[in-house]
Amino acid sequence: MNLAILPGNSQVVTMPSPQIAELTPKSLLLLAASHESRIEHMGFCMAAAHERYVATGCFDARGEADGHRMAMERAIAARSPAVVAFMEAERGLS
């Protein structure tokens, strides 16, 4: 099983490996771009909720920020090995 975030779904979901293998290179590129966009969006949501927590002291906002952070961490961990290798090479880390 591989983890993926599918377009239109804010949750990290499992996708059987054969199903991933059937995707075309263009589909994989779009899926990776969508995945990175979602990670960025979760980061913005986390920052906004944290700012509300700092401004108001409301623990609901803190819980919301933590929820976005945990979702973002799961999404980061779900990056495919090919995307991780590309990002490392792009930044001169490999």
Q: Model confidence over 25-60: pLDDT tens digits?
A: 667 677 788 888 999 999 999 999 999 999 999 999
Residues 30-57 as b or e (16 or more Cβ within 10 Å = b):
ebbebbbebbeebeebbeebbebbeeee
**Does the pLDDT at position 89 exceed 70?**
yes
Residue 8's pLDDT band, with cuts at 50, 70 and 90, is very low
**Does the pLDDT at position 1 exceed 50?**
no
pTM above threshold 0.95: no
Annotated domain spans of the chain: 2-90
Q: pLDDT > 70: what percent of the chain?
A: 70
Query: Which pLDDT does position 84 carry in this prediction?
Result: 84
